[in-house]
Amino acid sequence: MNSQAAVSVKRIADSTVRRLSAYLRFLEDFEGRGLMTISSEELAKRGGTTSAQVRKDLSFFGSFGKRGLGYSVPELAGRLREILGLGREWKIVIVGAGKIGAALAQYRGFRQRGFSILAAYDNNPEKIGRKLEDIPVRDIDQLERDIEREKPDIAVLTVPAEEAQSVVNRVVSVGVKAILNFAPTQLHAPADVTVKTVNMAMELEGLSFALTNRE
C-alpha cells in the first residue's frame, strides 16, 4: 500500500550501497537528458560493473523493473532516493575549520543533495565568530550544548588526528549517530554509531603499492 523503502531484511553490504549511490547519479544524468527508460545493461556499462550485479543490488530492495523493457528512469531514481534516505534533509556540523573544513563548508555538492551545514567548530579564537561562506564558525566549547539543541544527524571531522578520537567521544556522548572522518586515524565508536573515514594518505599508499607491485 505505501511505498516505504523495503525493509532491509538482511544486512546490506557497503559495496552495494556505494553502487546504489553511483546508479542514482547516472539516473539523474539520464533524467536530465530526457531518457525515460534504461536497462540494467546500460546502467552497468556506465558504472563499470555487470548487469547481473545491478539487478542483484536492486533485488535486495524490491523489483522495480519491467521484463523486456528495463527500468523507468524517474521511478528508479525515486526508489533509490528513498532507499538511500535522501527524501529528507540531513543536518551536518563540521568540526575543525582548517583548510579542509573550509573547503568542505563551501562545497556545493552537500546542499544539492539535501545535506545542510548548520555550523563549523574550531578552538582558534581568530576563527571563532567569523563565517565560511555563510556558515558560522563557533567555539568548540559550545559543541555539546549546540548539538543537544540543534540535533544534527552527522558530524564531519576535519581536526588533527590527535584530537579526532576525543571529538568522536564528545559528539557520541550527545547522541550523534553518524560521523564522516577526514583525520588520518582509526576511530573507535559504539556499534550503533556509523563511522566512515576518508583517508588520503591511505589512498595514496594504495597507489604507491599498485605502482610498485605491477607485473
Partner DNA sequence: TTTAACTTGTGAATGAATTCACAAGCCGCT
Partner DNA sequence: AGCGGCTTGTGAATTCATTCACAAGTTAAA
Give the interface with a second copy as residue ranges (CB under 8 A): 5, 8, 12, 14, 17-18, 20-22, 24-26, 46-48, 83-86, 90, 99-100, 102-104, 106-107, 109-110, 113, 115, 153-154, 177-180, 184-186, 188, 192, 194, 196, 198, 200-215
Residue 72 sits in the site that holds DNA (CB under 7 A): no
The 3-state DSSP class for residue 136 equals strand
Total site size for DNA, rule CB under 7 A: 26
Partner whose footprint covers residue 206, from DNA, a second copy, none (CB < 5 to 8 Å by kind) = a second copy
The distance of closest approach from Cβ of residue 84 to a second copy in the complex, given in angstroms and rounded to an integer, is 5
Closer by beta carbon to DNA, 19 or else 138: 19
Q: Bridge partners of 94?
A: 120, 156
Q: Which residues of 64-74 are buried (b: 16+ CB within 10 A; e: fewer)?
A: bbeeeebbbbe
Alpha-carbon span 110 to 107, nearest angstrom: 6
Residue in 20, 23, 30, 55 binding DNA, rule: CB under 7 A: 55
Alpha-carbon span 54 to 61, nearest angstrom: 12
Residue 71 sits in the site that holds DNA (CB under 7 A): yes
Strand 70-72 vs strand 65-66: parallel, antiparallel, or unpaired?
antiparallel
What are the grid coordinates assigned to 173, written together?
Answer: 556522548
The 3-state DSSP class for residue 99 equals helix
Binding site for DNA (CB under 7 A): 11, 13-16, 39-41, 49-53, 55-56, 58-59, 63-71
